[in-house]
């Protein structure tokens, strides 16, 4: 299937209005940001598919200027990200949601909402781990000076390890690197 390119989100919405109940998939072509070609953004695409109860899927590069993404009607048991739940609220307030989109949203399961690892990642170290970290004043001082994104990533990697032994090993490694004024080698670039 060849990708279909739309000049903007309004043009794309028109296609969805006429085809959302007739088609089972569409490959949408988009221009990469640097091309300056008339186009809709990926975020605008997601807004429109949510309105009609569809979902964005796999994307791939076509060439240096273009990429494409497959969209399909959303299945009842599909996962809803926190971002998409937020978008539906805003689209509803703006009066843009269609009955099909509202029906798809109504069928979502709480157990399959906001479950991606970055959405449910532990925000803090276990209190026992934090106490161990703070015991090394130099390491803790370095840790506190690091950007929130780094601390969140490292905390996630420590706290989501399946075995206690692995969590402790990672914590000790982070403390050792921090004590030397270095970011943890597992995530340092």
pLDDT digits (tens, 9 = 90+) for 49-107: 999 999 998 899 999 999 999 999 998 878 778 888 889 899 999 999 999 999 988 87
Report yes or no: 71 and 122 within 8 Å, Cβ to Cβ: no
Please give the average per-residue pLDDT across 34-60, as a whole number: 92
Residue 114 has pLDDT above 90, yes or no: no
Instruction: Kindly state whether residues 152 and 101 are assigned to the same domain.
Output: no
State the residue range of the domain holding 110: 4-116
The tokens describing 172, both together, are: 């000790």
Return the sign of the alpha-carbon dihedral for residues 103, 109, 112, 118: positive
Task: Say whether both 31 and 72 belong to one domain.
Answer: yes
Q: How far apart are CA 114 and CA 102, in angstroms?
A: 18
Helix (H) or strand (E) holding 9: helix 9-19
Does residue 169 carry a pLDDT above 80?
yes
Say if residue 149's pLDDT is above 90: no
Q: Are strands 26-31 and 4-5 parallel, antiparallel or unpaired?
A: parallel
* Domain final residue, candidates 116, 143, 161: 116
Domain boundary, last residue among 89, 116, 143:
116
**Whether residue 90 is found in the same domain as residue 20:** yes
Same-domain pairing of 48 and 105: yes
Tell me: do 46 and 101 sit in the same domain. yes
Contact predicate 142/179, CB 8 Å = yes
Q: How far apart are CA 183 and CA 175, in angstroms?
A: 10
Structural domains counted in the chain? 2
User: Residues 12, 3: contact at Cβ < 8 Å?
Assistant: no
pTM of the entire predicted model: 0.61
């Amino acid at each position: 299937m060849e990708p279909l390119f739309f000049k903007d989100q309004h043009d794309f919405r028109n296609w969805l209005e006429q085809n959302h109940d007739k088609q089972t998939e569409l490959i949408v072509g988009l221009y990469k940001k640097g091309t300056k070609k008339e186009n809709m953004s990926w975020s605008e695409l997601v807004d429109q598919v949510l309105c009609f109860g569809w979902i964005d899927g796999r994307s791939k590069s076509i060439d240096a200027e273009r990429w494409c993404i497959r969209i399909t009607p959303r299945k009842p048991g599909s996962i809803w990200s926190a971002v998409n739940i937020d978008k539906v609220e805003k689209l509803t307030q703006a009066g843009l949601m269609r009955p099909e989109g509202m029906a798809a949203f109504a069928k979502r399961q709480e157990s399959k909402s906001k479950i991606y690892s970055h959405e449910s990642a532990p925000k803090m170290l276990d209190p026992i781990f934090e106490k161990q970290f703070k015991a090394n004043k130099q390491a803790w001082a370095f840790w506190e000076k690091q950007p929130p994104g780094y601390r969140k990533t490292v905390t996630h990697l420590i706290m989501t390890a399946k075995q206690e032994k692995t969590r402790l090993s990672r914590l000790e490694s982070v403390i050792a690197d921090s004590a030397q004024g270095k970011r943890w080698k597992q995530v340092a670039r």
